[in-house]
Structures are given as C-alpha cells and as structure tokens.
Amino acid sequence: MTREDDRAREEFTSEAEELLDTLSRDLVEFESQGKNVRPEVVNKIFREVHSLKGLAGMLGFAEISELSHNLEDMLDRLRMGKIEINRELIDLLYDAIDSLNRLVIAINDPSLGALIDITGLTRRIHQTISAQTQKKADDPFADLTLDEQTKKSLTEYEEHRLLENVRAGKYILSIEQTFDFSDFDEKLRALTSALNEAGEVISTLPALDASGGSGIAFRLLYGSTLNDAAAAMLAPEAKVVTLRRVEPSGSGGAPAANDVAPMPEAAVEEEVSLRSVSQTVRVDIGKLDHVMNIVGELIVEKTQLEALTRSVEAQASRMLAHELTKISRNLDRKLNELQKSVIETRMVPVGQIYSKLSRTVRKIARELGKELELVLRGEDTELDKMMVEELTDPLMHIIRNAIDHGIESADERAAAGKPVAGRVTLLAYQQGNSVVLDVTDDGRGIDPEMIRQVAVKRGLVGDKEVVDQQRALELMFTPGFSTATAVSEISGRGVGLDVVKKNIQELKGTIDVTSTIGQGTTFRIMLPITLAIIQALVVEAGGEHFAIPLTSVEESLRIYSKHIRTVERKEVFTLRDFTLPLLRLADAFNLEDGRDHGPDTKWFVVVTRSGEKMAGILVDALVRQQEVVIKSIGERLKTIPGIAGATEVGEGEIVLVVDVGSLIDHFGGRAREARAHAVN
C-alpha cells in the first residue's frame, strides 16, 4: 500500500468516526421524538449516511458503501413518508449504525469483520421497506378538498409534508392573496414568515388575480392547529378557506410526544474497544473562533488606544504622547503577528478536497458512460478550514450537474467537432482579499429555451414571456428547479442550485454563471479568505455609520446630484463608459436624510461588486478604513436584506456591516422607489 493510500485511509477513518459519532447523537434525538420526529432530524441523518456512503465508495470500502447505500434508501423512503416509524425500525437503525462503526474499526483490525452480519442487516432493511410500502394503499387525501391541478403541482416532498400535517390532525387551509407587482416578493415573504410561526407553509403556488388588476396572486397551502378564523388574523388581506377540518377530541387532538416505547437493554455481546483508530488530532473550529474573537477585541482596544494617543498629543503632552505611540505601535505589530498566526492556523489548501472530488467525478462519469477529463488547478490556494468543509458539497453538486447536464454524449461531441472526452476544469486562485473558484465545462451550454419550457411547466413564467440568457440563469437558482427527467443516483433528488446558492451566501460569498450555447458553462464562486477579521470601509448615511467589506468594494468617488440621471425609474451614474445603477443606503434602510438636496449636493459613491453585478452605493461621507470583526445579530435582524452582521468600531460604537450581495439582489437600483411605496 502506497503512502498516499495510507493517508487516504487515515483521512477516511477520521471522517467516518466523526460522522458516526454525529449519527449516534442524532439517532438518540430521533428516538426521543417518536413518530412525531421533526423532518429536519430525519433529513440530517439521511445526509450523514449519504456522506458516509460517498466516502466509502471513493476509497473502495465496499461493505461500508453497500450497507450505507441500503440504509440511505430506507431513510429516503422514511423522509418521504413511504414507511412509518416503529420500534423495529429504530432497532434496525441502531444495529446498522453499530455495524458501520465496527466496519470502520475493522479497516485496521480485519479480525472484527467476521463478527458483522451484513447480509442479515441488508435482508432486514429490504423486509422493512417491502412490508411497510404495501400498507400505503389508502388515499391519505380522501377527506381533503384539493383540486387535481393543485395536487399535480405539488412536488414529492410538498406532498409528503401535506400528508404529515394531515396525519398530525392539523387544519389544512388555503390562503390566497393578491399583491402589487412592485413589492410582492417582500410582502409574500412577510406573510410566509408570519404563518410559519404558527404552523407550516407547505407550498406556495401562483394563482389567478381575481381582481382583474395589475397585481399577482399566490395561493399558500397551510397546515396549522389554527382554524380559518384564527389564521385570517395573521393574513387579514387574504382569502382563507378550510380544506380539511379537525374533529375535536377529548385530548385536544394533540399527538403523543413519543409513540415509540423505550428500547430494552441490549443483550451482552463481545465488547469492541471504543478507542479511536485515528491518530489525527482535529481542533474544534469553535476554539479557533474563540481565539479569533479575542484577537478582534484586542484590535478594538488598539483602536481606542490610538484615539487616546491622538487626544493626548492634541493637549500638548508630547512626552506622554510619544510613549503611548510607542506602546501602540508595539501592540499593533504583535497583534498583526497574532492575527496572522491564528488565520494561518485556520487556513488549509483547497487541494485537500480535490482528491475527494476526482474520485467521485470518475465514478459518476463511468456510471453515465461518458469519457471525461477532470483538470484541477490552484490546489495550493488557501482558504479558511470551515469554509473548505462547507464548500465540498456545493462544488460536488456543480460538478455533478456539469457532467450530467453539460457534457454531451460521445456521439454528440463528435458531431459537433469536439474531442470525444469532455473536460471539466476546477480552478482556484486568490484575487485581492477573496478566493475565486471557477468550475468550467466544455459542454453544450445552457439553452434559454429549454429553461423557459421547464419554467412554464412549473408556473414560474408565463407562456408568452421571453426568457433571455440572463433570465434563464436566474431561473436556474429558483427553489426546486430541475431539468432532470428522472430521479437517478446522479441527479433529480430535489436538491437544486438554490441550495448551492444559499450555502455560498451563508459563507458571505457569491455565485455567478456565464454560458455560451455549444461551447460550455462556467460557475464562478467568490469567497472571502476568512470570515473572522476583515478590512472594511466605514461610511456615513442618514446620520448613521455602516461598514462595507472591502472585498466587495471596487473604488469610491465623489459626485454631485446633477450627475445623477434616472433611467426606467432607476437612478444611474455614468462611470467612464459604464452605466452604473445607484442605490441610496439611507433609502435602503429607511433613514432620515436631513441634508438640503440640490443640484450641487455632494455625494460619495462606493462602487461595489457582487459576482458579475455592480452597483454604486450612495453615502453622505467616507469615514475611514479599518479592520472589523463581524458579530452575528439576532434572528429578527437576520431577515433584513443588506445586513451581514454588526461590529464595534471603537469607543463603544456599534455599526451594522453591509451585505452587498443581498442589498443588490433585493433593491437593485430601486431603493428610492421601494422607500416611496413604503411611505405611501
């Protein structure tokens, strides 16, 4: 066995042990919730088993891969409500996790392999699936007044959630409301949020605007313990109709908290050592976060010390000011060293996930019968460890889509004059304070007409709406959008590019797509090197200070009101040969602007970029550039577009950190218009 194989095996055992530890904890929570287990718990267990299967398959551990695959199939049916939770099922899950743990240990101690009955476990899994699947003959929606068109519009998962709400004895309501085109997305989001606090919005479907006006209507299927009268108080402008009434019961209709009996004590069997077989020490990222937070607090203290030094110097205490300056410089130097050291501790080369990707890609290409060349470049580019971990799944999803949907068959490629073997290139490189990852294929490209046809079927666009290249790329990121015609191991499991985009945005990054029909497609992911300490530009707008991350700033300049033009109700500014959309920060956050406005009013424009989108943020003043530590904010503020967090900029001043990506996505160039509607 080569040194590379030894290292790969060590990495697998280390990751597999972590996954199995997490699975064991999640299974305890699963058991404690009984038949009323929350869907996110089942989904989490499913994803963990799926990850273990993928890892084992890449390294050729066939027994672990086979058992995980069968377990994943059963869990997939479970999360879709095709099998029920009972004592036998929980017993089986515990036995399967225990056997997987023994198989991982057996990698370094083969004698344990003979003690594991994989065939028996596989037989039990298949029996559970077949026995319970046969019980699904009755129509669960028989007492639900739901039209056929609506039933056909539901995805498999939405149908399952509807069924779970019916089983839980909840009211099923139809909530239909018409919105104005100008702000329907914002008001629909607010309505959904309010309803989710007292139930579950199962599905959101477009509806006909009965008013005959210029609005847009949506119909929400809602499951809740609230009846139609109570739900109408949450949606006073909506039409609320009951699709299923709940019969009163002596117990109040509340399901039991735990319908599964406690597990009996397991029979005593041969003891297996619980010592870890991996010699790798993994530092909890939370501990590094704590150290980084301390560094951040020290940076704030350093800023205050510098302010005190300037104050003392202004009071003519030169000797004292000189000593303070010397202390401040020494502290600054040591802080920079400490900060650099902590950041470097967290940094790892992105190449550590390249080997995982290459093995999986070869397997996928083989299963699809496609010849493929995977080109991996920039493996020495470093990124925060946490971000590398979170990046693996989005990258794999993008590459899987490129192979499945982008790369043509050998015959198609030959007919188009292309090499028979398709090429997928993953390139990582540093650009300023950001890391860029480009996933490029030389396949068929993205056809707007095909995207339009799928979007029409899903009711996302009208039959007559024109879908250009840019609109097609936007539609690809809508929830649940997929061009897959059938569910397979490769695609069509209901997880789309919207999940990928959400994961990237949670890392404070952006994702963009460029495509040329017949030539190929590039997905570009841009991420900050670290989420801990960043350079920011502190600005003033509406009498308040804000911090804009420098990773999003292209340049800044001063202009006057007379230079601002309005095109299609959007404020714009001509920057050299480019028409730059403008966004007033004070309008975006509804701040009062007490300045006199005239043609000679002075403004500062911060030219920002989010992926391929650019916008000029209009502010009253540029205050300073400074290092900041982003702190998380409360759940209520998290939903406000344009806010990434908060930071302390010295002397106890707390300012909000601007999320340029969501600010541009939400307002575009219409911050003034949005504010005007809010006032009216």
- The CATH number for 616's domain is 2.40.50.180
Quote the pLDDT of residue 437: 92
Residue 413 lies in a domain: yes
What is the model's pLDDT at position 428?
Answer: 92
Helices (H) and strands (E) in the chain, counts: 21, 22
What was the pLDDT predicted at 275? 42
Question: Of the candidates 71, 74, 125, which has an alpha carbon nearest to the alpha carbon of residue 101?
Answer: 71
- Position 262 in a domain: no
Q: How far apart are CA 565 and CA 572, in angstroms?
A: 5
Instruction: Say if 197 falls within a structural domain.
Output: yes
Other C-beta atoms lying within 10 Å of the C-beta of residue 380 = 10
| 495 & 550 share domain | no
Residue 517 shares a structural domain with residue 386: yes
User: What per-residue confidence (pLDDT) applies to 135?
Assistant: 47
CB 178 within 8 A of CB 187: no
Query: Is the pLDDT score of 672 beyond 50?
Result: yes
Same domain, 417 and 480: yes
CATH, residue 184: 3.30.70.1150
| Nearest partner of 425 among 357, 373, 493, 390, judged by Cα | 373
Q: Provide the pLDDT for residue 255.
A: 42
Same domain? 189 vs 112: no
Residue 425: its pLDDT value, please? 93
User: Are 200 and 303 found together in one domain?
Assistant: no
Tell me the pLDDT band of 264, cut-offs 50, 70 and 90: very low
- Domain contains 251: no
Q: What is the mean pLDDT of residues 47-65?
A: 86
Tally the domains of the chain: 5
pLDDT range class, residue 465, cuts 50, 70, 90? confident
- Average pLDDT for the chain: 78
Which residues form the domain of 661?
533-679
Average the pLDDT over 4-13 and give the result.
75
Q: What average pLDDT does range 322-337 have in this prediction?
A: 76
Least confident piece of the model among 265-279, 366-380, 440-454, 609-623: 265-279
- Decide which of 306, 327, 348 is a domain's last residue: 348
Q: Considering only residues 281 and 518, tell me which one the structure prediction assigns the higher pLDDT.
A: 518
At 643, list the tokens: 């806010």
- Answer yes or no: is 572 within a domain: yes
**Which of 200-204, 261-265, 619-623, 647-651 bottoms out in mean pLDDT, i.e. has the lowest?**
261-265
Within-domain flag for 253: no
Do residue 310 and residue 390 come from a single domain?
no
Question: Is it the case that residue 80 has pLDDT exceeding 50?
Answer: yes
pLDDT grade for 139, boundaries at 50, 70 and 90: low
Verify that 333 and 409 share a domain, yes or no: no
What is the rounded average pLDDT of the residues 567-582? 86
Higher pLDDT, 258 or 480: 480
When pLDDT is cut at 50, 70 and 90, the band that residue 273 belongs to is: very low
Whether pLDDT at 279 is above 70 = no
Mean pLDDT across the stretch 209-222?
Answer: 77
Structural domain ending residue among the three candidates 73, 102, 133: 133
The answer to the question of residue 90 being in a domain is yes
pLDDT band at 622 (very low <50, low <70, confident <90, very high): very high
Model pTM score: 0.50
**Spatial CB neighbours of 669, under 8 Å, sequence gap ≥ 6:** 570, 571, 572, 581, 582, 583, 615
Which CATH number characterizes residue 106's domain? Answer: 1.20.120.160
Domain boundary among 348, 371, 389: 348
644 & 667 share domain: yes
> Is 105's pLDDT higher than 70?
yes
**Shared-domain flag, residues 375 and 520:** yes
Whether residues 416 and 516 fall in one domain: yes
Mean pLDDT of 251-277: 41
pLDDT of residue 210: 61
Looking at the structure, do residues 344 and 414 belong to the same domain, yes or no? no
Mean pLDDT for 308-336 is 74
Contact indicator for 496, 502 with CB cutoff of 8 Å: no
Q: Examine residue 226 and state whether it is found in any structural domain, yes or no.
A: yes
* Predicted pLDDT at 291: 75
Assess whether pLDDT exceeds 60 at residue 678. no
The predicted-structure confidence for 284-302, as pLDDT tens digits, reads as follows 666 667 777 777 777 777 7
Q: What is the DSSP string of 368-423?
A: HT--EEEEEE-TT-EEEHHHHHHHHHHHHHHHHHIIIIISPPHHHHHHTT--SSEE
- pLDDT band (50, 70, 90) for residue 250: very low
Q: Which residues pair with 377 in a beta bridge?
A: 427
Asked if 513 and 538 sit in the same domain, the reply is no
